Structure 1
């Protein structure tokens, strides 16, 4: 590890933005999350589960826009006008992709700052003390499942409070189309490692407590499936259909000298 400086943070954030890609590049972020899981030596289960969240969103949000295009002109409620209905839904989808990008960037900064410069450097960037130090320990030494589950829970809650909840609430509040508001509150979530018929169906997507509850379900299912097995299968899946032009990946390394 090398002493940390503002220039190091700028470099890590620049690499985080490259890894995250444009807001619409959900499958690219799935690859980035998978790389983060491996860079953390398997400690960042948040990244592995988030990779599948991005893969799910890549097709689900595209489908939502197609459905909205069809419903915008036939919904008999009369408000708002059809063009505005579709624009509102598109803005909501764009906000979800923006959130996904921001969460990826913050997770990248967390993992690579600790990896290159240690937990104190991460703490100096506003990452919670316990989260940074416990990640440093887990990245250095394999931890039992209950420890990794607790780490996932705290990471998930931190991202919800730091990035997700306010942006999601604001995006949802801007949508006035009653039918689509109702549908968006109850998304159907199914990751590739879930059993057939074992989807997660939300009652209220804007409820932070329910999002955390569902996140822990997704985590437990990933552990039951086998984390390393899931990572290997996901690598194969992304090689077959990466969803973006292959690029040269490089990890952040501390400068020498």
Structure 2
């Protein structure tokens, strides 16, 4: 796929958007379908390793995806609560679990788009972030943050704790404001059950690396600033816990295969190879049907 350009290549401004769109299309193929959250965790973790462990946003995003899978799905924490609450009324239970499935699907749509956008932003800036007109494609604050990541990686340097936190904040704010906020708003607009709306908008969040008895209680999950505040707190806990533990603790969600933990680079390489093969087959089918 298309990540072989020299990291300091420069293009005219009218070409830059095309290159960004190409990375985004590649990310879409890699990200798979809505249910394939483990694929996206592998992609996010690969970017963390590729950055020389400087782009920590991707590890927090991976935990967010795995937590959401365990919490919002009909068989997850919230689904079990609903099933228990309405055990006496099969029809009412089915109705409310149906609403939860719709919300969880909307959550997966957002999760998939976060992965795609993160992939496109990361690889576009890696290869074309030094181009004079790059900020016409990637917001200036995010561009500056990712350029610092790539500069450190190319020179085999580690960003300071303060620099890593700033990169995380710029990446997280962009994700929340550009990608997550519209997705959450669309999911909320579809609700026609006040009780289920309340439950979904007041989640209890616990990532697997959190200290014992540490939970986040949301007053309003639809509030972008509250999500950003909680994200910064999650980052602080990750930094305190240690990034090796943040990675290893993904085991506790029970979704990632052992191969991912044993050789994450090889696991991603296999995923990428499979995606390239599938894209090639799809193209050949398209040419035959034409």
Deviation at 1:144, TM superposition (A): 1.3
In the alignment of these two chains, the number of paired residues is 243
The answer on 1:196 being equivalent to 2:208 is no
The superposition leaves residues 206-254 of structure 1 with CA deviations (integer Å, 9 ceiling, x where unpaired) of 1111111110111011111222453366589834286xxx672449xxx
Residue pair 1:119, 1:132 contacting (<8 A) in 2 also: no
Tell me which stretches of 4 or more aligned residues in structure 1 moved more than 4 Å.
Answer: 69-75, 80-84, 232-237
Relative contact order (C-alpha < 8 Å, sep 6+): which is higher? 1
> Could you tell which deviates more after superposition, 81-90 or 222-231?
81-90
In structure 1, the residue matched to 2:150 is 139
In structure 2, the residue matched to 1:61 is 72
2:191 to 157, 175, 198: 175
The superposition leaves residues 174-223 of structure 1 with CA deviations (integer Å, 9 ceiling, x where unpaired) of 21222212211221111111112112121211111111111011101111
TM-score using structure 2 length: 0.73
In structure 1, the residue matched to 2:277 is none
Residue pair 1:88, 1:174 contacting (<8 A) in 2 also: no
Cα RMSD for the two superposed structures: 2.8
The answer on 1:123 being equivalent to 2:141 is no
Cα pair distance change 1:83/1:225, threshold 3 Å: closer
Q: Gaps spanning 5+ residues in structure 2: where?
A: 1-5, 153-157, 261-266, 274-290
Cα pair distance change 1:32/1:180, threshold 3 Å: same
CA separation in 2, counterparts of 1:110 and 1:197? 35
Q: Gaps spanning 5+ residues in structure 1: where?
A: 252-257
2:43 to 10, 29, 32: 32
In structure 2, the residue matched to 1:213 is 229
In structure 2, the residue matched to 1:19 is 30
CA separation in 1, counterparts of 2:71 and 2:93? 21
Cα pair distance change 1:235/1:197, threshold 3 Å: closer
TM-score using structure 1 length: 0.82
In structure 1, the residue matched to 2:108 is 97
